[in-house]
Structure 1
Amino acid sequence: MEMTSNHKKKRVLKGLTGILFLTFFLIGIIGCSNDSQTTAAQSSAQKGSSDSSVLRIGYVGSSKDNIPTGVEGWAIQKKLLQQELKKKGIEKFEFHAFPNGPPLNEAIAAGELDIGILGDTPAIVGKSNGLKTKLISQTSINSNVWLITPKNGVKSVEELKGKTVATQLGSYMYRYLIGLLKEKGLDKDVKIVNMLASDAEAALERKDIAAYAFPTNSGPLIKSKGFPVIDEAKDHPELLGSSVVVITDDYLSKYPDLPKIWNDVRKQALEDLLKNPEGFYQFQSEQVGYPVEVMKDSLPLDNLKLDPLSEEGIKLLEGTKKFLVEEEFAKKDFNLKDWIAK
C-alpha cells in the first residue's frame, strides 16, 4: 500500500485512529448487550480491570520470561517493583507482549491494560486521539533506528527514489523514516509499506524491499549479519525516539501514588545495574535471545537517565509531538505538562 503526500497522511491518520474509534465503540456496546461472540479473553480482561489488586502491564517486544526488558525488566526480575507495590495492595502482576505500539494502544482502549511500555510515537498518537493515559516516565531516550538494505542493494538514501521501503506503521521508526525522506525531498517519491521487523530479514534477502527501518535489538542484529546500513537516526538527532511508560487514568485514580513508587523503584534498579553493567547486558541478552554486543549497541547506558523525565528526554517528546501534529498523524495537539502524572 502506497503512503505518500496528502493521501499518505490521510491513510496513516485513518489507520491510527480508526482502530481506536472502533474499539471505543465496541466498549460502549459490550456493557449493554449480551453478544454471544464476546470472547473469553475479553471477559477475563474486563474482570481483571475491576480488580484493582491486579496490575496488567503491556510492553513491546518478546522475552524469555515474558517480562519487559531494560531498567523496568531489571527491577521486575529482581522483584523490586513487586515488593513495593504489594505494600499498596497490588497482589498480582500480569505481563502482556505486543509486536509494536498501535496494538498495545488498542488494548489500553479496550480496558485490557493498566500500564503500557511503548515507543513515544504511538504513545503520543494514542493520547492525542483520546486515550485516557498519563505519562509516568521514559524508560530510555535517544533510541536509534537503522535503515538497512539488501546486500548489493542501494548505497544511499537518495537512491531510494522510486523504490519501496518498509517499517512498522505507527512506530518511532516510522516517524524517523517519514522525517528522513522529507529531509531528503523524497517523501513523495518513495513507497512505504507496513511490515513487522520479524519479517524484514527475509524480505531483504528476497529483495522485496529496497530498505527497512529497524528498531533497537533487531537493527544491530541484522547489521551484524552483513546487511548494509545506509542511514541511522543518530545522524539526525531530531528523529531519535524514546520509550515511555503510561498509566490509565482509571488505574491512576485507584493508586495515585503509583507513579512515584514506579519511578523510585526504577531509580533504585538503574543505580543497581550501573554497578553491574555486564550483568545487565547478560540479562538483556538472555531475555531477548540476541548476542550481548547487539544489546549493548541497542541500548547504550547513556540512554538511561536517573531522572524519569530528563530535560533531554522532554525535549525529544516535544519534538516528536510537534512533528506528529504537523504531519497530521496526531489528531490534535496537547500540553505535554498536562500529560505527566503528578
Structure 2
Amino acid sequence: MRRFLAAAAAAALVLTAAACGGDDEDTAAAGGKPSKIVIGYQQIPNGDLIVKHNKWLEDAFGSDTTIEWKLFDSGGSVNEAIQAGSVDIGLVGSSPASRGISSGIKYRVPWIFDVIGEAEALVVKGGVTDVKSLKGKTIATPFASTSHYSLLAALQKAGLDSKSVKVIDSEPDAILAAWKRGDIDGAYVWNPVLAKLVADGGKTLVTSAELAKEGKTTYDLGVVTDEFAEKYPDAVTTWVTQQDKAVKLIRDDPTAASEAIAAELSISAAEAKAQMDDLIFVSAAEQTGNTYLSGGLPDNLFATAEFNKEVGQITTVREESAYQDAVDATFAKSVPKE
C-alpha cells in the first residue's frame, strides 16, 4: 500500500508540487520569502508541536507567506511526500533520514529536534520476560522508522532476526488498535502511543536510551529539500530560529511548553511533561558543535546506513562523504545570539 501511495503521489507531482515553496511556479514574496511553505510534521512531543501550536512561523513570516502543516504517521511517509514534491520541510527519524540519503533523496538535515531516549521502547504483553522470549511472537513497528531500526538492533543483540520473530509494519495508531484487539504480542513505538501501551499493562523490555549506550543512538531530525534551502536560505534560518526558541521554552518554562504540546496531542499537561522528559533537547548553539551537526550526527547516519544494509533493510550504502554533506550546520550557526 505504501509503495502504491508513493507511486500515486509521484504521478500527481505536476499537480501537487506547485504547493511547495521551492517550486519554479512559486514566486517569492517581498524580502525573498517563499509565498508558501509546506511542513510535514508528526505527533511527537517535541519543539515542533510548540512552534505549530503557538503559530510562531506564521508570526515570523507574516501574511506574505502561507504556512501549511501536513500530519504524517512516520518518517517513511514523510520521505515519500518529499520524493513526491509535496513537502518542503519535514520531521523524520535518523533511520529514515539515513535511508533517504542512501536512496538519493535530495534533502539535508539542518536541525535536531531531539535525541530519542526513553521516548521509544519495546513494550510487550504479559508472559514475555526478555527479548529472547520474543521467538515466535508478533511484534509491530512502523517500518523504516527509528523504532524499526531499534527493534532490529535489539533482536540482533539477543541473537534473533525477523525470521524467528514475526515483525509486522504498522503505524502508531494502528498499533494501539491491534494491541487492544490482542492481534500483537508487543510493539516498538514512540510516544504518545508508547505511553498508552504502558498504561494498558504493557511491560517495557528495552528502550532506545539503553540502545544508545551501545552505539545505536536515534534522533528526530528536521530535513529540508535542497531546492528549498538553496532558493530560500533565509527562510530556513527563520524556521531553525523558531525551533531553537521552542527548545528554550522547554528548558525555561516547561509548564508553558507542556501545555502547548498537550493541546496538540489532546492529552493532559502532566502527560505531555512526562513524555517530553523522555527526550533530550539540544539548542542551536549546542548543535553546531562536533557532538551533533558538525560531527556526531553524520557519523551516526553513515553507521545507521551500514547497519540497515547488514540486516537487509536497504541494498546500498553511499560513500561516507554523502552523509557528511547531507548534514548542514549553516542554519543553526546563523540563529541570532541573544
- Please indicate the TM-score interval, normalised by the length of the shorter structure: 0.7 to 0.9
Amino acid at match of 1:138: I
Which moved further from structure 2: 130-139 or 48-57?
Answer: 48-57
**1:7 maps to which residue?**
none
- The verdict on how the C-alpha distance between 1:137 and 1:210 changes in structure 2, with shifts beyond 3 A counting, is same
| 1:299 Cα offset (Å) | 2.2
How many residues are matched? 305
Once the two structures are superposed, residues 180-220 of structure 1 have per-residue CA deviations (whole angstroms, 9 ceiling, x without a partner) of 00011011421211112212233233432221112122112
Amino acid at match of 2:57: L
Amino acid at match of 1:219: L
**1:46 maps to which residue?**
18
- The verdict on how the C-alpha distance between 1:120 and 1:310 changes in structure 2, with shifts beyond 3 A counting, is farther
C-alpha root-mean-square deviation of aligned residues, in Å?
Answer: 2.8
- The verdict on how the C-alpha distance between 1:174 and 1:310 changes in structure 2, with shifts beyond 3 A counting, is farther
Which moved further from structure 2: 114-123 or 318-327?
Answer: 318-327
| 1:309 Cα offset (Å) | 5.0
Instruction: Give the alignment of 1:199-214 within 5 angstroms.
Output: 199-214=174-189
- The verdict on how the C-alpha distance between 1:294 and 1:78 changes in structure 2, with shifts beyond 3 A counting, is closer
Instruction: Give the alignment of 1:113-262 within 5 angstroms.
Output: 113-143=87-117, 144-150=119-125, 152-187=126-161, 188-237=163-212, 238-262=215-239
State how far apart, in whole Å, the 2-side matches of 1:316 and 1:295 are. 27
**1:5 maps to which residue?**
none
Given that 2:305 and 2:317 are in contact with CA atoms closer than 8 Å, whether structure 1 keeps it comes out as: no
- The verdict on how the C-alpha distance between 1:56 and 1:295 changes in structure 2, with shifts beyond 3 A counting, is same
- The verdict on how the C-alpha distance between 1:312 and 1:294 changes in structure 2, with shifts beyond 3 A counting, is farther
**Structure 1: any 5+ residue segments left out of the alignment?**
1-14, 32-42, 62-67
**1:319 maps to which residue?**
300
**1:64 maps to which residue?**
none
**Structure 2: any 5+ residue segments left out of the alignment?**
27-33, 331-338
Once the two structures are superposed, residues 48-81 of structure 1 have per-residue CA deviations (whole angstroms, 9 ceiling, x without a partner) of 54323100101123xxxxxx86223323433433
Once the two structures are superposed, residues 234-253 of structure 1 have per-residue CA deviations (whole angstroms, 9 ceiling, x without a partner) of 22213342111111111112
SS of aligned partner of 1:332:
coil
SS of aligned partner of 1:239:
coil
- The verdict on how the C-alpha distance between 1:293 and 1:232 changes in structure 2, with shifts beyond 3 A counting, is farther
> Which of 49, 57, 78 is the aligned partner of 1:73?
49
